[in-house]
Chains A and B, each alone.
Chain A
Amino acid sequence: MTDTLTQQWTVVCPYDRVDPERGVAALVGGEQVAIFRTFDGSLYAIGNRDPIAGAYVMSRGIVGTRGDAPTVASPLHKQVYDLRTGECLDEPGVSVPVYNVRLRDDMIEISR
Chain B
Amino acid sequence: MKNLVVVGNGMVGQRFVEAVRSRDTTGEWRITVLAEEGRPAYDRVRLSAFFDGVSPEELSLHTPDDEVDLRLGEPVVSLDRERRVAVTGAGEYPYDALVLATGSYPFVPPIDGRDLSGVFVYRTLDDLEAIRDFAKGKRTGAVIGGGLLGLEAANALRLLDLSTHVIEFAPRLMPVQVDEAGGAMLRRYVEDLDVKVHTGAATTAIRPRNDGDVHGLTLSNGEWIQADIVVVAAGVRPRDDVARAAGIAVGDRGGILVDGTCQTSDDRIFAIGECAAVDGLCYGLVAPGYAMAEVVADRLLGGQATFPGADLSTKLKLLGVDVASFGDAHGTTEGCLDVTFTDPATRVYAKLVLSDDAQTLLGGVLVGDATAYPTLRASVGGALPGPPLALLAPESEGGGTGAGIAALPGSAQVCSCNAVTKDQIIGAIHEGCTDVGAIKSCTRAGTSCGSCVPMLKQLLAVSGVQMSKALCEHFDHSRQELFEIIRVRGIRTFSQLVAEHGRGRGCDICKPAVASILAALGSGYILDGEQAALQDTNDHFLANIQKDGTYSVVPRIPGGEITPEKLIVIGEVARDFNLYTKITGGQRIDLFGARVEQLPQIWRRLVDAGFESGHAYGKALRTVKSCVGSTWCRYGVQDSVGLAVALELRYRGLRAPHKLKSAVSGCARECAEARSKDFGVIATDNGWNLYVGGNGGFRPRHADLFASDLSTEELVRLIDRFLMFYIRTADRLQRTAAWIEAMEGGLDHLRAVIVDDSLGLCDELDAAMAQHVGAYEDEWRATIEDPERVRRFTSFVNAPDTPDPSISFEVERGQPVPALGERRPVTLGLPTMGARQ
A contact set with B: CB distance below 8 Å? 10-13, 17-22, 24-28, 32, 35, 38-39, 49, 53-57, 60-67, 70-71, 73, 75-76, 78, 80
B113 at the interface (CB under 8 A from A): no
**Does B507 lie within 8 Å of A66, measured CB to CB?**
yes
B549 at the interface (CB under 8 A from A): yes
Least distance between A18 CB and chain B CB atoms (Å) = 8
Additional 17 contacts, C-beta under 8 A, given A27-B798, A73-B508: A18-B797, A20-B530, A20-B533, A25-B794, A25-B795, A26-B797, A32-B806, A38-B505, A55-B548, A56-B549, A60-B537, A62-B536, A63-B533, A64-B511, A65-B507, A67-B473, A75-B536
Q: Mark B503-531, 1 if CB is under 8 A from A, else 0.
A: 01111100110000000000000000010
B567 at the interface (CB under 8 A from A): no
Across the A-B interface, give the 7 residue pairs with the lowest CB-CB distance, nearest first.
A75-B537, A21-B533, A55-B549, A73-B508, A64-B507, A65-B504, A24-B797
Complex contacts, A73 vs chain B, CB 8 Å: 507-508
B568 at the interface (CB under 8 A from A): no
**Does A12 lie within 8 Å of B511, measured CB to CB?**
no
A31 to B547, CA, bound (A): 20
A18 to B532, CA, bound (A): 12
The dominant DSSP class at the A interface is strand
Least distance between A51 CB and chain B CB atoms (Å) = 13
B contact set with A: CB distance below 8 Å? 473-474, 495, 504-508, 511-512, 530, 532-537, 540-541, 545, 547-549, 794-799, 802, 804, 806, 823
Q: Pick the residue among A27, A35, A76 that contacts B799 (CB under 8 A).
A: A27
Complex contacts, A60 vs chain B, CB 8 Å: 537, 540-541, 545
**Does A80 lie within 8 Å of B547, measured CB to CB?**
no
A35 to B797, CA, bound (A): 10
Least distance between B491 CB and chain A CB atoms (Å) = 17
**Does B804 lie within 8 Å of A56, measured CB to CB?**
yes
A64 to B823, CA, bound (A): 32
6 A-B pairs whose Cβ atoms sit less than 8 Å apart in the complex: A12-B798, A20-B533, A21-B533, A26-B799, A65-B507, A71-B507
Known A27-B796, A27-B798; judge A22-B532 contact (CB<8 A).
yes
**Does A25 lie within 8 Å of B507, measured CB to CB?**
no
A61 to B511, CA, bound (A): 12
A67 to B473, CA, bound (A): 8
**Does B508 lie within 8 Å of A56, measured CB to CB?**
no
A32 to B812, CA, bound (A): 28
Q: Pick the residue among B473, B532, B802, B806 that contacts A19 (CB under 8 A).
A: B532
A14 to B71, CA, bound (A): 81
Known A12-B797, A24-B794, A27-B802; judge A64-B506 contact (CB<8 A).
yes
Q: Pick the residue among B474, B508, B797 that contacts A17 (CB under 8 A).
A: B797
Complex contacts, A63 vs chain B, CB 8 Å: 505, 533
Known A32-B804, A56-B806, A57-B537; judge A76-B545 contact (CB<8 A).
yes
**Does A39 lie within 8 Å of B505, measured CB to CB?**
yes
Please, which residue of chain A has its CB at the minimum distance from the CB of B527? A19
Please, which residue of chain B has its CB at the minimum distance from the CB of A38? B505
Please, which residue of chain B has its CB at the minimum distance from the CB of A54? B823
Complex contacts, B806 vs chain A, CB 8 Å: 32, 49, 55-56
**Does B506 lie within 8 Å of A65, measured CB to CB?**
yes
A10 to B505, CA, bound (A): 29
Complex contacts, A54 vs chain B, CB 8 Å: 823
Complex contacts, A18 vs chain B, CB 8 Å: 797
A24 to B794, CA, bound (A): 8
A78 to B510, CA, bound (A): 13
Complex contacts, A24 vs chain B, CB 8 Å: 794, 797
Least distance between A75 CB and chain B CB atoms (Å) = 4
A61 to B508, CA, bound (A): 8
Least distance between B801 CB and chain A CB atoms (Å) = 11
Least distance between A2 CB and chain B CB atoms (Å) = 21
Please, which residue of chain A has its CB at the minimum distance from the CB of B799? A27
A87 to B772, CA, bound (A): 42
Most B CB within 10 A of own CB, among A11, A24, A55: A55
**Does B536 lie within 8 Å of A64, measured CB to CB?**
no
A61 to B534, CA, bound (A): 10
Complex contacts, A17 vs chain B, CB 8 Å: 797
A76 to B506, CA, bound (A): 18
A49 to B495, CA, bound (A): 29
Complex contacts, B802 vs chain A, CB 8 Å: 27
Complex contacts, A19 vs chain B, CB 8 Å: 532-533
Known A22-B532, A25-B797, A56-B804; judge A62-B549 contact (CB<8 A).
no
Complex contacts, B532 vs chain A, CB 8 Å: 19, 22
Q: Pick the residue among A32, A55, A62 that contacts B547 (CB under 8 A).
A: A55
Complex contacts, A26 vs chain B, CB 8 Å: 796-799
Complex contacts, B506 vs chain A, CB 8 Å: 62, 64-65
Complex contacts, A67 vs chain B, CB 8 Å: 473, 504
Most A CB within 10 A of own CB, among B505, B534, B545, B795: B505
**Does B798 lie within 8 Å of A13, measured CB to CB?**
yes
Least distance between B525 CB and chain A CB atoms (Å) = 14
A35 to B798, CA, bound (A): 12
**Does B511 lie within 8 Å of A75, measured CB to CB?**
no
Please, which residue of chain B has its CB at the minimum distance from the CB of A24? B797
Please, which residue of chain B has its CB at the minimum distance from the CB of A79? B508
A49 to B804, CA, bound (A): 11
Known A22-B532, A25-B796, A56-B804; judge A66-B508 contact (CB<8 A).
no
